[in-house]
Amino acid sequence: MLITGISGSGKSVALLALEDAGFYCVDNLPPELLREYMHLTHPRYTQRVAIAVDVRAAGSLPVLVPLIDELRAEGVTIRPLFLDANTDTLVRRFSETRRPHPLSQPDSGGSVQHALIEAIELERLMLAELREVSAIIDTSTLRPAGLRQHVRDLVSTSTNSMTLVFESFAFKYGVPLDADYVFDVRVLPNPYYIRELCALSGRDSPVAQFLAEQPEADELLGQIEVFMRRWLPVLAADQRGYVTVAIGCTGGQHRSVYMVEQLGRRFADHGATVIRHRELDAFD
């Protein structure tokens, strides 16, 4: 597992989760040493390894993506994981911890926050190519326990097939940064306006039964399933390690959760399938 991402997005938490899962962890390894490290012979250091690389190795980042391809061609299984979060969340986290951003310098006007935002945007540009070839976890609304669970879910999936992630979310809190495909299910009848169902979620039987009785829900499920089954083989042939399908409704509690649960069941034959509920997980 190659752990990268935006500073403040939770790389240390992810690395600890992998350590708890039995990985041998190395933090901030210079990319130039990655090949030499993977050619070590002791199985403890090479069979289940998590290596974190961040923007502090800025001068070496351009070689990292080609190096991943080269190592894969040599038979090394590498699963890149990129942690991200929205800028407002990152600014808040840096303010709370009072830690400086690795790229931050006070601007000419002396504004620390303005300099921090510029540093975050610069980091996004520097890591954009690496983000494109990685599985992405948006940690904006995740507590550390939720992030640890997401990492464990990814580790538990097979390394021999593409991992398919179905994620529910609320449009009022923004589209997940880790989404490859986004489907809007706000066109479906909303259980929120039914008194007996308002406090429940799409994982509860009464809500699931209500939505299962709506012809539009079954039709939309079928259309999403047909679309994904058509394009999954093409994505796998493109050597995509992960694909995230985000399903959104207004509050991320009823319709999107139900649809994700149903899609998870329909794609159980895919094997490497992960279910996430962004808004529900944020409060678990």
pLDDT band at 266 (very low <50, low <70, confident <90, very high): very high
Q: What is the pLDDT of residue 5?
A: 93
Q: What is the CATH number of the domain that holds 20?
A: 3.40.50.300
In a shared domain, residues 72 and 181: no
Give me the half-sphere count of Cα atoms (radius 13 Å) on the Cβ side of residue 170: 15
Give me the half-sphere count of Cα atoms (radius 13 Å) on the Cβ side of residue 222: 6
**pTM score:** 0.77
Q: What is the pLDDT of residue 163?
A: 86
In a shared domain, residues 78 and 197: no
In a shared domain, residues 182 and 68: no
Q: Which of 134, 156, 178 is the last residue of a domain?
A: 156
- What does the block give as tokens for 244? 């995230």
In a shared domain, residues 132 and 233: no
In a shared domain, residues 151 and 218: no
In a shared domain, residues 173 and 124: no
In a shared domain, residues 108 and 128: yes
How far apart are alpha carbons 54 and 180 in whole angstroms? 23
How far apart are alpha carbons 163 and 267 in whole angstroms? 11
Structural domain span for residue 72: 2-156
Buried (b) or exposed (e) across 69-79, using 16+ Cβ within 10 A? eebeeeeeebb
In a shared domain, residues 167 and 220: yes
The 10s digit of each residue's pLDDT in 16-69 is 999 998 899 999 888 888 888 887 767 766 678 999 988 877 677 888 888 888
The 10s digit of each residue's pLDDT in 234-265 is 988 877 778 999 999 999 999 999 999 999 99
Q: How far apart are the first and last CA of the chain?
A: 26
Query: Which residue from 249, 1, 275, 279 is spatially nearest to 140, judged by alpha carbons?
Result: 279
In a shared domain, residues 150 and 198: no
The 10s digit of each residue's pLDDT in 137-191 is 999 988 888 899 888 888 876 555 788 999 999 999 999 998 999 999 999 999 9
Q: What is the mean pLDDT of the chain?
A: 88
The total of structural domains in the chain comes to 2
Give me the half-sphere count of Cα atoms (radius 13 Å) on the Cβ side of residue 92: 7
In a shared domain, residues 196 and 253: yes
In a shared domain, residues 167 and 152: no
Q: Considering only CA atoms, give the Rg of the chain.
A: 20
